[in-house]
Amino acid sequence: MSRCVIFDLDGTLIDTPHGIVTTFAAVFDRLELPAVDYGTIRGTIGLPLPTAFAKVLGVAADEPVVATCVELYRSTFRATVLPKAPRLVFPGVADGLDALRQAGFLLAVATSKFSANAEALLDAAGLRDAFSVVVGADQVSKPKPDPEAGFLVLNALGVSPANAVMVGDTTHDVLMAHEAGMSSIGVTYGVHSTEQLLSANPTWLVDSFAGVVAAAEECC
């Protein structure tokens, strides 16, 4: 019987939320767009980039300014955040991933990042080899909380929803797990607050990566 743990990326494996917000701010500054407060930008983390920029700017996602922002964001993020990636891995993640693999779990990532950007971040952080599958926002027609990304992972690995668990720091991750018929582990050290995560009714709520490992082993 195959078992798998599916992880979100930003705010779950790697502490990138601050870098994401500062990259957004740098884009607005470079394009001479009105400044947006930290909390508003942070609140969009977990959404695909075009959706996030459209929401912050108050425009449709197909507006040309959104595509311009996304392109500049990607180049800026690569230049300023990727070099820091090894230092941004959350405590316990590397050892925890090893422990899960030794326990027989297949590991995957389902993220709102485009797949190339997710692969680049995982490579820079030294984590890519831990994962059998990485699914990005450009590989699905509907982003989280739609279950499409989860089903893609399960189909690729040959795992049933009953033998899988989704780990994430936002309600998008928990709700995707519900829709896919998987268990879920919400982590409180990322973007969404404990109260926000509880509103989505995760199977487990933990405050460390050691807690993630313990919950996963209990789950499947």
The dihedral formed by the CA atoms of 32, 35, 40 and 43, expressed in degrees to the nearest 10: 40
Q: Residue 146: its pLDDT value, please?
A: 97
Q: Is 138 considered catalytic here?
A: no
pTM > 0.85: yes or no: yes
Q: Is 10 considered catalytic here?
A: yes
The CATH homologous superfamily for domain 17-80 is: Putative phosphatase; domain 2 (1.10.150.240)
Taking only the tens place, the pLDDT of each residue in 8-66 is 999 999 999 999 999 999 999 999 999 999 999 999 998 899 999 999 999 999 999 99
Phi, psi of 158 (to 5 degrees): 70, 40
Please pick, among 10, 15, 169, 173, the residue that the annotation labels catalytic. 10
Q: Tokens representing 154?
A: 């399960």
Name which of 180, 163, 185 is nearest 105 in CA terms. 163
CA distance 43 to 21: 10
Q: How distant, in Å, are the alpha carbons of 11, 21, 58, 132 from that of 155?
A: 25, 34, 36, 12
Domain positions in the chain are 3-15+85-219, 17-80
Note whether 3-15+85-219 and 17-80 share their fold.
no
212 pLDDT tier (thresholds 50, 70, 90): very high
My answer on whether omega of the bond before 161 falls inside 30° of 0, hence cis, is no
Q: Residue 46: its pLDDT value, please?
A: 87
Taking only the tens place, the pLDDT of each residue in 126-176 is 999 999 999 999 999 999 999 999 999 999 999 999 999 999 999 999 999
Q: What is the CA radius of gyration of the chain?
A: 17
Please pick, among 8, 15, 169, 173, the residue that the annotation labels catalytic. 8
Class of domain 3-15+85-219: alpha beta
Q: Residue 220: its pLDDT value, please?
A: 75
Number of Cβ atoms within 10 Å of the Cβ of 102: 8
